A and B are shown apart, each in its own frame.
Chain A
């Protein structure tokens, strides 16, 4: 899957998403190169998670197309997109509660990455180690606290061997120490050439990783570019602090 240097690995064109009368995504165009780290910020209700769900195939857009690795994947379900290398985590962790931490990750290694038994064991253990979860490998996921559930989301997605990882607020509620551990883990993924799209409210940890920042508000992209410039953009400031109707 080596496209030409300027071919986007993931692109979305004219994405609309409506839930009944509510327009959540309003004509989103987005494209990114492989092996890049893109951050997405925006106030609550901006449509960030909905965009991630459309990109990952959790549900289809009302209009528009999504392409991954050069092919149209708009109608492709999440299972197949995952197997192609486009993997997401969930904002509200969705562990397999009745299974152990290891088993959670093993499912992704054997099905998402399509690995045979022994390779899947190794992949699962490596993901757990990277996310600092070997110590809780035998605990049932329902007994894990919120921090470990968030780590499990990341470990499980990694075990599916993504080429592009979509992260949805995995840093929420972390202490400074925990957040810097998370940043170290993400930087390690960047060294492994895994592309990242990361939605996060905690901007300062996002800025340690993101090479490009997108700000969304009310279903639209209102700023897109170099992170510091985006954060200084008057539109972005207004979206966050409120400045009356535009």
Chain B
């Protein structure tokens, strides 16, 4: 590597990603102003969308990037709501409770990871579901919750309905923005490369110096924390807490749907999937059973015909990368003059023909 002009360059962004970075800022500013213009119902719906984006992004980070497929993530959703109820009952400000609750959920997920991350693949997936069911039962034992009757975040009722709605909207927007930023930073850095390496081959990752267990634990705890916030925010929008609603496996099913349809393992895919799920729910959510059948059929069709999801397919076909976390090597124009490169290219072409 003698001169700058002859050295390969590592590119992290694309022209499209530089535009999209600006677009992301504009969209967030517009969303922050939106409650002034939207109806009460629309503000609530948008809050739900932000929560869906958090859920999809967290499950995607865990499964799509880290290879940790879990069908028990509702445990953190339920615990996020439960601890918020508990903290508010103990006298903490209800809005503060939402975030303190998520920190507790993250803290609980740490010891949980000690034994859950020993499980591999299907064992881990189902093991998490078992943990969720078990936690559901334990929460039911708390007399404050009154079993399946449930309880409410009554301390929120002291706030004016309009101000409360807008505050929850902004908290959800801020939480979504912050969590996506943390996730993007993590996945884009060298830890992100380690996370994907573990997903692809754990033994090989260990053999090239990746701290496998510690890295998985970091991802597991972050996903628990994020989903905990989502559960607490959901509680804030709906006020009532019934354990069976929050600890329902449907939450993880929704996460899987959003990520598979949007594009597993791509940062943009999870966001797109959440948006699609939100639109489908908005338009068809009132049709009851047919809505659920439609969701199931869509998921099946995607896994059969577009296994990489919408964004994965777009990315592959058009090289479109708006929020890239990967690395591209740009070789200098005269690279073919150097000694090693042509050998490899010829060899590759030769083998592909063979």
Contact = CB atoms under 8 A, between A and B. Distances in A.
A215 B168 CA distance: 71
B190 A110 contact: yes
Contact of B10 (A83, A121, A130): A121
B193 interface: yes
B209 A113 contact: yes
Interface in B164-212: 190, 193-194, 196-197, 199-201, 203-212
Interface string B25-42: 000000000000000000
B200 A96 contact: yes
Interface string A53-96: 00010100000000000000000011100110001101000111
Interface in A111-150: 111-114, 117, 120-122, 125-126, 129-130, 132-138, 141, 145, 147-148
A104 B328 CA distance: 12
A114 B340 CA distance: 27
B68 to A, nearest CB: 14
B326 A103 contact: yes
B209 A103 contact: no
A88 B204 CA distance: 9
Main secondary structure of the interface of A (DSSP, over half): helix
B111 interface: no
B206 A79 contact: yes
B331 A134 contact: yes
Interface string B319-332: 00000001111010
A129 B348 contact: no
A125 B209 contact: no
Given A95-B200, A100-B327, A108 B209 contact: yes
Nearest to B328: A138
A83 B331 CA distance: 30
A211 interface: no
B197 A96 contact: yes
B162 to A, nearest CB: 47
Contact of A129 (B197, B205, B340): B340
A90 B343 contact: no
Contact of B331 (A94, A96, A132, A137): A137
Interface residues of B, number: 39
A170 interface: no
Nearest to A83: B209
Contacts of B203: 58, 78, 94
B193 A102 contact: no
A78 B206 contact: yes
Interface residues of A, number: 53
Nearest to A99: B196
B23 interface: no
A98 B200 CA distance: 7
A61 to B, nearest CB: 17
A157 interface: yes
Contacts, number: 146
A106 interface: yes
B208 A157 contact: yes
Contact of B196 (A94, A98, A121, A134): A98
Contacts of B347: 132, 147-148, 178
A160 B205 CA distance: 11
A43 B8 CA distance: 43
A160 to B, nearest CB: 5
Contacts of A58: 203, 206-207
B46 interface: no
Interface in B150-166: none
A20 B294 CA distance: 51
A156 B205 CA distance: 10
A96 B8 contact: no
Given A98-B199, A125-B329, A147-B347, A79 B1 contact: no
Contacts of A125: 1, 7-8, 10, 329
Contact of B351 (A83, A122, A126, A147): A147
Given A134-B331, A135-B348, A147-B351, A87 B196 contact: no
Contact of B8 (A112, A113, A137): A137
A12 interface: no
A181 interface: yes
A196 interface: no
B194 A111 contact: yes
Interface in B1-20: 1, 7-8, 10
A58 B200 CA distance: 17
- Most chain-A Cβ atoms within 10 A of its Cβ — which of B199, B208, B210, B212? B208
A147 B117 CA distance: 34
A197 to B, nearest CB: 14
A97 interface: yes
A24 B40 CA distance: 71
B196 A96 contact: yes
A206 interface: no
B279 to A, nearest CB: 29
Contacts of B190: 106-107, 110-111, 117, 120
B238 to A, nearest CB: 38
Interface of A: 56, 58, 77-79, 82-83, 87-88, 90, 94-100, 102-104, 106-108, 110-114, 117, 120-122, 125-126, 129-130, 132-138, 141, 145, 147-148, 156-157, 159-160, 178, 181
